[in-house]
């Protein structure tokens, strides 16, 4: 068997031997989280599915909200950066993966050399030419100890982590746009409430001022009416500013101008989102939530880097080979008898590195330990966010029900106090107190309605909503 045949048979064997890895076996860290949510209900068990299976187009029902979210997903600058990072990580993985296979390159060269007479064995000066064409493998590392493979695995896991980061940024953007739109609707409703209150208070003030000018009302009653009027004016300026700022916030998220419009917050939550959002089981978060998956892939990448650091303690073996033609004349370059080939290998073994490899291994282990802590922190944070939102969902409905009853009671109190004042039974201070109580209760009712809606949006995000089946 020729030496060339041995080379061809030995190369696949080297590639097979390169399959080993010195990376430690991956084990999912313990997180110490509960196996059940702090509240119970028909949507927190195994039979109700999970929020990740509900596409955002199905969860959000308002057509204007869906349009804003769709435009934001297309135009948002932060999401564009996250998407570009995914493409960069994918390309870096392809670069690292290519190191596992030999690179075959073709080359051609020509040299012309003159030899002086003093250096020539014949005593005469000579001039010669040499032409060469070849193809071969240059310095291909035979990955016996899995160093290159571990680096490729680390790059792959980093790519997966970046893709999950993009999914997390996408989900956060969806929730931010939805909450910003709901805030805008609420502030418009508060502005409308303030305008109506100001109009009623202006009418009351005008009547009291007219009566005061005729001597039928005291200056105290006039000044009391003026205080409520000025308070309403200040609140109206506040809500006008907030509405304008809400539009600016939406414009930034969407990435293009947004029409402020005139829509108010609807009375029914179902007009905007699905109220009966299935929470599933706590274990679902480990498989569904993007930031947890990102932390896990980062941990796997750190684990693979330990394998690369361990392999650095062992010999590095490289292979170089080429085959081509060599001739002294360009015309005879491809004639019979001009074939040329070469095979070479090199090996290096670290002996004295003054602790460099040991330090690199310690760095890799420390990074793995940090990745473990980050993964555990991501899981615990996610569990707390979901638990907080589930508890809030249970209590916000009760709070809103109580405020609705309070608004009805204060409205009746105001109507009665106004009637008693008109008949001269009570003074105007009683009317003002009941009017302030009604206005405050109405404001609180709108704000809690906003809290309940944003709670559902945030719960959808916390459960990894709409991420099932998404690509990077």
Instruction: Give the model's pLDDT for residue 2.
Output: 44
The model's pLDDT over 400-433, given as tens digits with 9 standing for 90+, comes to 999 999 999 999 998 998 898 888 888 778 888 8
Question: Percent of the chain having pLDDT more than 90?
Answer: 32
What CATH number has the domain spanning 103-142+315-348? 2.20.200.10
At 105, which helix (H) or strand (E)?
strand 104-115
Alpha carbons 447 and 242: distance in angstroms, whole number? 14
Is 326 in contact with 106 (CB distance < 8 Å)?
no
Coil/strand/helix, residue 267: coil
What DSSP state is assigned to residue 75?
H
Which residues have C-beta within 8 Å of that of residue 83, sequence separation ≥ 6? 166
Task: Please tell me the pTM assigned to this model.
Answer: 0.82
**How large is the average pLDDT for residues 272-277?**
87
Instruction: Give the model's pLDDT for residue 204.
Output: 81
Q: Which of 139-148, 258-267, 330-339 has the lowest mean pLDDT?
A: 330-339
Alpha carbons 217 and 220: distance in angstroms, whole number? 8
Q: Which of 3-7, 11-15, 186-190, 328-332 has the lowest mean pLDDT?
A: 3-7
Instruction: Give the model's pLDDT for residue 413.
Output: 93
The model's pLDDT over 55-82, given as tens digits with 9 standing for 90+, comes to 999 999 999 999 999 999 999 988 888 8
Using the structure block, give the residue that is written with the tokens 């979210």. 69
Q: What angle do CA 217, 222, 224 make, to 5 degrees?
A: 125
What DSSP state is assigned to residue 18?
T
φ, ψ (nearest 5 deg) of residue 406: -65, -40
| Neighbouring C-alpha atoms within 13 Å toward the C-beta of 156 | 11
| Neighbouring C-alpha atoms within 13 Å toward the C-beta of 79 | 23
Q: How far apart, in Å, are the Cα atoms of 319 and each of 7, 258, 376?
A: 11, 62, 43
Counting DSSP H helices and E strands in the chain, the numbers are 10, 4
Domain limits of the chain? 24-100+145-314+356-462, 103-142+315-348
Instruction: Give the model's pLDDT for residue 8.
Output: 40
The model's pLDDT over 33-59, given as tens digits with 9 standing for 90+, comes to 777 777 755 455 544 457 888 899 999
Which residues have C-beta within 8 Å of that of residue 15, sequence separation ≥ 6? none
**How large is the average pLDDT for residues 345-354?**
75
Which residues have C-beta within 8 Å of that of residue 43, sequence separation ≥ 6? 276, 277, 278, 279
Is 172 in contact with 69 (CB distance < 8 Å)?
no
Task: For the domain made up of 24-100+145-314+356-462, give the CATH fold.
Answer: Outer membrane efflux proteins (OEP) (1.20.1600)
In terms of average pLDDT, the best of 20-34, 35-49, 179-193, 268-282 is: 179-193
């Amino acid at each position: 068997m020729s030496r060339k045949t041995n080379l061809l048979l030995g190369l696949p064997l080297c590639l097979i031997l390169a399959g080993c890895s010195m990376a430690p076996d991956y084990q999912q860290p313990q997180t110490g989280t509960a196996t059940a949510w702090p509240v119970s209900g028909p949507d927190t068990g195994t039979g109700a599915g999970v929020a990740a299976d509900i596409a955002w187009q199905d969860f959000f029902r308002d057509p204007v909200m869906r349009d804003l979210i769709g435009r934001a997903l297309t135009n948002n600058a932060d999401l564009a950066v996250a998407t570009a990072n995914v493409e960069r990580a994918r390309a870096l993985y392809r670069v690292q993966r290519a190191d596992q296979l030999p690179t075959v390159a073709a080359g051609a060269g020509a040299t012309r050399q003159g030899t002086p007479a003093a250096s020539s064995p014949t005593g005469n000066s000579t001039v010669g030419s040499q032409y060469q064409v070849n193809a071969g493998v240059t310095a291909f590392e035979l990955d016996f100890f899995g160093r290159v493979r571990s680096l490729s695995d680390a790059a792959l896991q980093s790519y997966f982590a970046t893709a999950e980061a993009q999914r997390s940024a996408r989900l956060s953007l969806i929730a931010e746009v939805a909450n910003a739109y709901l805030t805008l609707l609420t502030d418009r409703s508060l502005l409308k409430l303030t305008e109506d209150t100001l109009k009623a208070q202006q009418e009351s003030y005008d009547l009291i001022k007219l009566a005061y000018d005729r001597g039928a009302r005291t200056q105290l009653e006039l000044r009391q009416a003026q205080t409520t009027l000025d308070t309403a004016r200040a609140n109206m300026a506040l809500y006008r500013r907030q509405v304008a700022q809400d539009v600016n916030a939406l414009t930034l998220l969407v990435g293009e101008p947004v029409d402020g419009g005139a829509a108010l917050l609807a009375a029914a939550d179902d007009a905007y989102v699905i109220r009966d959002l299935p929470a599933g089981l706590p274990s679902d978060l480990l498989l569904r939530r993007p930031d947890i998956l990102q932390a896990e892939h980062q941990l796997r990448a750190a684990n693979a880097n330990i394998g690369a650091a361990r392999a650095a303690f062992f010999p590095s073996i490289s292979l170089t080979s080429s085959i081509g033609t060599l001739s002294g004349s360009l015309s005879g370059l491809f004639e019979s008898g001009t074939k040329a080939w070469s095979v070479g290998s090199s090996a290096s073994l670290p002996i004295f590195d003054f602790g460099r490899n040991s330090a690199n291994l310690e760095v890799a282990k420390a990074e793995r330990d940090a990745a473990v802590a980050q993964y555990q922190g991501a899981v615990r944070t996610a569990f707390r966010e979901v638990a907080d939102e589930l508890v809030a969902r249970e209590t916000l409905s009760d709070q809103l029900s109580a405020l609705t009853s309070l608004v009805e009671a204060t409205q009746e109190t105001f109507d009665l106090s106004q009637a008693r004042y008109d008949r001269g039974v009570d003074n105007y201070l009683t009317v003002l107190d009941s009017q302030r109580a009604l206005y405050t209760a109405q404001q609180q009712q709108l704000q809690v309605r906003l809290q309940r809606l944003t709670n559902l949006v945030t719960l959808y995000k916390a459960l990894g909503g709409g991420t099932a089946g998404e690509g990077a």
